[in-house]
Amino acid sequence: MRIVILDSLTLGNDLDLTPLGTFGEVINYTTTHPSETLKRIENADIIITNKVLITKEIMQNASNLKLIAIAATGMNNVDVDTAKALNIKVKNVVGYSTASVVQHTFAMAFNLIEKLPYYNARVQDGTWSNSNLFTDVSQPFSEIAGKSWGIIGFGTIGKNVAQIAELFGANVIYYSTSGKNKINDYHHDSLKDLLAKSDIVSIHCPLNKDTENLINASNLNLLKDGAVLLNLGRGGIINEADLVEELNKRELYVGLDVLLKEPIEADNPLMHLKNPNQLLITPHIAWASVEARKRLLEGIMKNIEWFLKG
């Protein structure tokens, strides 16, 4: 078997990919430009891709291709209809990043709620040393206990966030974007009511026709002053232009791990807010703990084993 990895750098330099060699010859590319994809996979039996697009044209010209192993849960980078028509198997990996995404949700929440970057800067620049006070409460912060935590998207990750938020004393409400997750121990609300009621809102849904621009100028104004909004779903769920306008108008705190275009462009208005302390952006890393990436590799190997066993 000839196995081609198209974008191994997205999995991290610290991840040992040598076990894949047990299945055959492995050719590893750290990144792949769209213009390079076809040339690199034309003789491959198996390809491993995280974000490289595998289009109809590419598959039609890769005569040996038998399996596309997606190094992720999302499958929107592969034309799965064409793959099915050409009898090319497509396998993704699910569930590997749940703990990592849930942890990152709370890491972002704590940073924004407790103003940790602000306080760290006060220590590092000597402000606290020169204050003659044992404490510094110049930026008031609140507890999660007693607050309303609204969750948009109530799959496995959303439910895990709900359980932990409850342990911190939050009152959890949720909105099911699919309309299918309404039988559980939590209160389901309309999107408008959830936004209006919640002190903290976290997004954990996929990007699809029902969720694209779900949060926009028509409902951002429903959020309370001082509310925290977190997006750990997909870029495109929040309309970024509308979000910038709202952030520049009033006090909101926003954490984004995902953006419409990644990496972020230097001229993205999110990079030029009137008050940058209202925004925390991380470079799409919620999924990427060491443990999650190891589980991802294990899932890829299981998918290849499944394929080879017929």
Q: For residue 255, how far is the Cα from the chain centroid?
A: 11
> What is the C-alpha separation between 153 and 111, in angstroms, rounded?
22
Catalytic residue of the set 234, 246, 293, 295: 234
Kind plus residue range of the DSSP H or E element containing 68: strand 67-70
Count of residues for the chain? 310
Residue 284 annotated as catalytic: yes
Q: For residue 138, how far is the Cα from the chain centroid?
A: 32
Q: For residue 275, how far is the Cα from the chain centroid?
A: 24
For the chain, give the longest Cα–Cα distance. 73
The closest of 12, 156, 139 to 97, measured between CA atoms, is: 156
Catalytic residue of the set 40, 204, 284, 293: 284
Tell me if 46 sits within 8 A of 25, measured CB to CB: no
> What is the C-alpha separation between 188 and 304, in angstroms, rounded?
40
Tell me if 212 sits within 8 A of 238, measured CB to CB: no
The set of catalytic residues is 234, 262, 284
